[in-house]
Structure 1
Amino acid sequence: MPHDFNQQVIDEFRANAGRVGGPFEGGRLILLTTTGARGGARHTTPVGYLPDGERILVIASAGGAPRHPAWYHNLVAHPHVTVETGVFDYEARAEVLTGTERDRLFARAVEADPGWAAYQAKTRRTLPVVALTSAEAGPPRFAGATPGATLTLVHDAFRRELRTIRRELAASGSLLGAQLRVNCLALCQGLDNHHAGEDRMMFPALRHRSPELAPVLDRLDEEHRRIAALLAELRRTLADPSAAPGGIRAEVERLTGELEAHLTYEEEQLIPLLDAMAG
């Protein structure tokens, strides 16, 4: 992509917590910062990604150009990279996948979006598939300036991912693709992790500091349990090889309704208090 276009996307991404318009609107996008293979300078590039469990995948398509993109050469030379999601930033290790693993994951990407096959058809080179795995042991670095802003960013990221998954389900026809299953499972794991963190740290701290919040926190605890049950049911449905998109859609719609009400209530009740405590 031309440098000026890239910079416009980068500026929009950073100004809007990962939300952009144009060709990336509604898609999964990260900012990938690599170290130059020759000069050692840092370079940031907007890149689409695919969820893959504890890691994410990026494909060095360059739109089907005859040569690999510069960011790919950079990470081959320097596999330590920085990932920005719009919600948090983290250091990651880049691994170029090979052999059957590369082929399997590229086929999964093509099943989800035939555009990858179109890019491959335009060039003689094999499009590289790269796995990015967090290299950080501690918590991620959140982009929010205040605790309330951070909570809103995290919630909005879940809302965006749910919208994306619902769009993918609507377009999936009668078959549930492998990548779509992975996307749903990644959402489940992300929600589990987020709520577990609140249950272990934020809610107990708030109970200790503000006992008058007990009714609010009791309700949030109960909502966490209901959402956990919905996530478990969605996982069970996804585990059925014969599961049709219609059944998954129904589970996702139930989850969406419950989760949206929960996120809204939590924001209304906790954000003013969290920001006041930090002030």
Structure 2
Amino acid sequence: MVEAKKGLAGKFTTAMPQPRPDGPLFFLAKLMTKMHVALYRLSKGRLGGRMDAARLLVLHHRGAKTGQPRATPVIYLEDGPNLVVVASMGGQDVNPAWYHNLRAHPEIEVDIRGQRRPVRARLATAEETTALWPQLSRMWPAFEDYKKRTDREFPVFLLEPR
């Protein structure tokens, strides 16, 4: 694993407040996410596949209430056969929507560089989170800055092959 320094994307995400789900910039953030996913898909992850040195995957999941398909780019860490993602939402006081979606519908797919694979999402135990956190924060140093913005614990998901 490449140890990352906080690069341009990490500096930007920690300097700018994340748009609140009820705020006017949230629509813009959703639009940018859709564009990011489209670029990622078209290029098979060659474009939009990294945030600084951290790798991105696209979660393909369903809305917890609506069941509608969703696609969300997230930073991930490989841990043996599993993938690890953090529901940090930039340090906001609430979990991202995809957290609730994975809890409601854990059978999902991930897209990594144009390769889709089925996985089952499960919350990491406290022990697993403690063991994984040093690797996660080395990979994406902005996680530590996000933690300073909130009192909530960031849920960590293991995405296990199925």
Match of 2:77 in 1: 50
Among 91, 104, 111, the alignment partner of 1:84 is 111
1:73 aligned partner: 100
Shift of 1:111: 3.4
- Number of residue pairs the alignment of both structures matches: 135
Residue number in structure 1 paired with 2:34: 7
Cα distance, 1:23–1:112 mapped onto 2, change above 3 Å: closer
Query: Is contact 2:49–2:55 with CA below 8 Å preserved after alignment?
Result: no
Change over 3 Å in CA distance of 1:15–1:25 after alignment to 2? farther
Task: Report the residue type matching 2:125 in the other structure.
Answer: T
Name the residue aligned to 1:272: none
The Cα of 1:13 is off from its aligned counterpart by 0.3
Structure-1 separation of matches of 2:85 and 2:39: 21
Q: Which has the higher helix share?
A: 1
Distance 2:159 2:41 in 1: 20
Q: Which structure's residues are more often strand, by fraction?
A: 2
C-alpha separation in 2, matches of 1:21 and 1:93: 24
Is structure 2 residue 90 aligned with structure 1 residue 60?
A: no
Kindly state the Cα deviation for residue 26 of structure 1 after the two structures are TM-superposed: 5.1
Note if 1:41 corresponds to 2:68. Answer: yes
- Runs of 4+ aligned structure 1 residues displaced above 4 Å come to none
Q: Taking structure 1 as the reference length, what is the TM-score of the superposition?
A: 0.46
Q: Does 1:129 align with 2:156?
A: yes
Answer whether contact 2:54 2:140 (CA < 8 A) is retained: no
- What is the CA RMSD across the aligned residues, in angstroms? 1.8
**Structure 2 gaps, min length 5:** 1-25
Partner of 1:24: 51
Aligned sequence identity (%)? 34
Q: Give 1:121 shift.
A: 1.4
1:163-182 superposed matches below 5 A: none
User: Which is greater in Rg?
Assistant: 1
Q: What amino acid is the match of 1:115?
A: A
Question: Do the aligned residues in 1 keep the contact of 2:58 with 2:71 (CA within 8 Å)?
Answer: yes
SS for the counterpart of 1:49 is strand
* Structure 1 residues not aligned, in runs of 5+: 136-279
CA distance in 2, matches of 1:8, 1:35: 19
Tell me the equivalent position of 2:130.
103
Superposed CA offset, 1:67-105 (max 9, x none): 000001100111111101123101110010121111221
- Residue in 1 that maps onto 2:140: 113
TM-score by length of 2: 0.77
Q: In structure 2, give the amino acid aligned to 1:114.
A: P
Distance 2:150 2:34 in 1: 26
How far residue 124 of structure 1 moved from its aligned partner, in angstroms, is: 1.2
> What one-letter code is carried by the residue in structure 1 that aligns with 2:147?
Q
Contact 2:123 2:155 in 1 (8 A): yes
